[in-house]
């Protein structure tokens, strides 16, 4: 095959790849094992870093992806095309689990999935309970993990915050660019209210035993510090750190291993 034709074919195949297949590709390149974990009412795709010893499990939760195809039309598949949390996990030397949400990663057409679960109710109690159950299933098969640390990016930070409260073995919560003031976030951008979702600001403060670090980009127009500050103010000993010149998408990989993971 001529070189130019091969290059064009490679570009075409990459462009046609689904978000789920691209995530599988990232996982394969990093040597992760793919799992399907039963939750409460949903099945959850997950990726785990095999063969790493330790008693602390890092749990990574990805951002919302693409809930809406247009402002009024839900997406057929909400799976993110750029899995930033998965890429951050690649820098983590600890045992780690990348836990997918209901209906993500190519499962959107499987019952009981329907768009309400990745649009208005994306942070609802049934979603959180199903993710809790999926994580519980994993932990039951891996009793060596005695404590949990949650890491969530953007909307995944909302999920991580809500899940952290449900596990007594949680010792740490880290969010990056997470809209923890959901009402303020939807109002700021003119988004539809997330009817049926839980709101972190209205939940009881997390246990003082959970070390909390919340990061925002100093140049983030999607989730500025003002959408995280009200939540942090209600917590015990939580910190809010703004990283100058960082946006919602850039450049969290550059400080993940050397700065954020090392903090306690």
- Of the candidates 107, 106, 86, 97, which has an alpha carbon nearest to the alpha carbon of residue 41? 107
Which of these ranges, 50-59, 146-155, 180-189, has the smallest mean pLDDT? 50-59
User: Encoding tokens for residue 134?
Assistant: 């999926």
Helix (H, G, I), strand (E, B) or coil at 225: helix
CATH architecture of the domain 20-260 equals 3-Layer(aba) Sandwich (3.40)
pLDDT of 128 above 60: yes
Q: Would you state the pLDDT for residue 2?
A: 54
Share above pLDDT 70 across residues of the chain, in percent, rounded to a whole number: 94
Contact 109, 116 (CB under 8 A): no
Tell me the pTM: 0.92
Q: Tell me how many helices (H) and strands (E) the chain has.
A: 8, 10
- Of the candidates 177, 176, 152, which has an alpha carbon nearest to the alpha carbon of residue 162? 152
Q: What are phi and psi of 38, to 5 degrees?
A: -70, 135
Of residues 122 and 2, more confidence is placed in 122
Average pLDDT of the chain?
92
Contact 154, 177 (CB under 8 A): yes
CA distance 56 to 121: 30
CB atoms within 10 A of CB 97: 24
The answer for residues whose C-beta is within 8 angstroms of residue 233's C-beta and 6 or more apart is: none
Q: Would you state the pLDDT for residue 11?
A: 36
CA distance 34 to 45: 7
* pLDDT per residue as tens digits for the range 1-41: 454 544 443 333 344 578 888 888 888 888 899 999 999 99
Residue 242 region, left (φ>0) first, then alpha (ψ -120 to 50), else beta? Answer: beta
Q: Would you state the pLDDT for residue 13?
A: 39
Alpha-carbon dihedral sign for residues 199, 204, 207, 208: positive
pLDDT of 226 above 90: yes
pLDDT band at 51 (very low <50, low <70, confident <90, very high): confident
pLDDT of 64 above 90: yes
CA distance 177 to 185: 12
CA distance 74 to 102: 15
- Of the candidates 75, 57, 58, 53, which has an alpha carbon nearest to the alpha carbon of residue 66? 75
Contact 119, 74 (CB under 8 A): yes
Q: What are phi and psi of 244, to 5 degrees?
A: -55, 140
User: Domain segments of the chain: what residues?
Assistant: 20-260
Q: Would you state the pLDDT for residue 6?
A: 42
The residue behind tokens 């949903």 is 42
Q: Would you state the pLDDT for residue 219?
A: 97
* pLDDT per residue as tens digits for the range 80-111: 989 999 999 999 999 999 999 999 999 999 99
Q: Would you state the pLDDT for residue 14?
A: 44
Contact 196, 121 (CB under 8 A): yes
Please compute the mean of the pLDDT values over residues 155-175 and round it to a whole number. 98
Q: Would you state the pLDDT for residue 28?
A: 80
Instruction: Provide the β-strand partners of residue 57.
Output: 148
Q: Would you state the pLDDT for residue 10?
A: 39
Q: Would you state the pLDDT for residue 183?
A: 96
Share above pLDDT 90 across residues of the chain, in percent, rounded to a whole number: 84
């Amino acid at each position: 095959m001529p070189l130019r034709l091969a290059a064009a074919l490679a570009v075409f195949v990459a462009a046609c790849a689904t978000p789920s297949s691209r995530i599988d590709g990232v996982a394969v390149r990093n040597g992760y094992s793919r799992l399907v974990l039963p939750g409460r009412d949903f099945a959850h795709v997950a990726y785990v870093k095999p063969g790493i010893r330790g008693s602390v499990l890092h749990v990574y939760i990805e951002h919302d992806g693409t809930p809406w195809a247009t402002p009024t039309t839900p997406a057929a598949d909400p799976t993110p095309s750029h899995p930033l949390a998965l890429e951050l996990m690649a820098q983590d030397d600890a045992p780690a689990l990348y836990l997918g949400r209901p209906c993500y990663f190519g499962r959107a057409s499987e019952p009981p999935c329907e768009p309400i679960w990745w649009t208005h109710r994306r942070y609802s109690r049934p979603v959180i309970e199903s993710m809790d159950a999926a994580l519980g299933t994993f932990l039951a098969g891996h009793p060596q993990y005695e404590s949990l640390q949650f890491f969530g990016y953007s909307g995944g930070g909302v999920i991580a915050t809500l899940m952290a409260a449900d596990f007594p073995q949680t010792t740490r919560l880290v969010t990056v660019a997470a809209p923890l003031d959901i009402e303020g976030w939807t109002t700021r951008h003119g988004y539809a209210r997330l009817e049926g979702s839980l709101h972190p600001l209205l939940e009881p403060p997390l246990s003082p035993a959970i070390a909390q670090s919340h990061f925002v980009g100093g140049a983030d127009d999607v989730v500025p510090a003002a959408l995280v500050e009200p939540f942090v103010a209600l917590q015990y000993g939580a910190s809010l750190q703004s990283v100058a010149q960082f946006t919602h998408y850039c450049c969290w990989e550059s400080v993940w291993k050397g700065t954020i993971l090392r903090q306690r």
